[in-house]
Structure 1
Amino acid sequence: MTKTDSLLRHVVLFKFKQGTTTEQIDKVEAAFSALPSKIEQIQGYEWGTNNSPEGLDKGFTHAFFLTFKSEEDRAIYLPHPDHKAFGAVLSPHLEDVLVIDYWTK
């Protein structure tokens, strides 16, 4: 499904296992950030680390925000070999993940 007046957002939050080193997290950040140059269906990408003073993050420290033009593009991204390879870099360090997708309004 494609909506001409909105964009499909894919929001991913990571909580890393206790003891994950800064170097290991840097590798995860670099691997995720390389995906837009490898997967053409990603139309927009940004990320950052939590700095909320509210204390409601439940241990999630990293937010990644991807944009797709259609659900079909997202369907290509999810099983894409480069996305799967990223998962192999991430999974040894991941305690929890939260993913929410939505069409912008």
Structure 2
Amino acid sequence: IFLALVSSHLLHRRSMAMETFREKTFRSITLYKFEEGVNVDESVKLLEKQAKEKKFDIVVHTECGVDYLTPEVLRHGFTHIFMMTFTSKKDFTAYRSDPENVENSATFQQKIKDVLMFNYEAHPIKLLA
């Protein structure tokens, strides 16, 4: 019975995630190239801490990662990616203009050599069966 309940719960969560994915969303994707000598792990933890704060409940999904596989010639020194998903451009704008976010961004910018950012309305593409 326990396994059936867990399985049912996981299927429900997957179904909910797929429904969320099918809807139009607004995404912000940022690629980072850190300054030499910067403690990158500490910097990434700062980003993760900010993303986890319940204050920003307009953020639907957040993820980050490190590129270990792409040849340097293709990634031009950018090593880390940070992606945030919002339900609308309005929510993204509210997040970006929040005083706490502005302050955190200013602190974080001192550790960045370069940044590449895309902010866009995501249009899901239905895959062929």
Do Structure 1 and Structure 2 share a fold, with TM-score over 0.5?
A: yes
Deviation track 1:8-62 (CA, whole Å, cap 9, x = no partner) reads 1100111011222xxx322221121122323111110000111233331100011
**Structure with bigger RCO (C-alpha 8 Å, 6+ apart):** 1
SS for the counterpart of 1:72 is: helix
- Taking every aligned residue pair, what percent have the same amino acid on both sides? 26
Q: 1:68: how far off?
A: 0.4
Q: 1:88: how far off?
A: 3.2
After the TM superposition, which residues 1-105 of structure 1 pair with which residues of structure 2 at under 5 Å, given as runs? 5-20=23-38, 24-36=39-51, 37=53, 38-55=55-72, 56-105=74-123
Stretches (4+) displaced over 3 A = none
Q: Which of the two has greater helix per residue? A: 2
Gaps of 5+ in 2: 1-21, 124-129
Using structure 2 for the length normalisation, give the TM-score: 0.69
Q: How many residues align?
A: 99
Q: CA RMSD in A?
A: 1.7
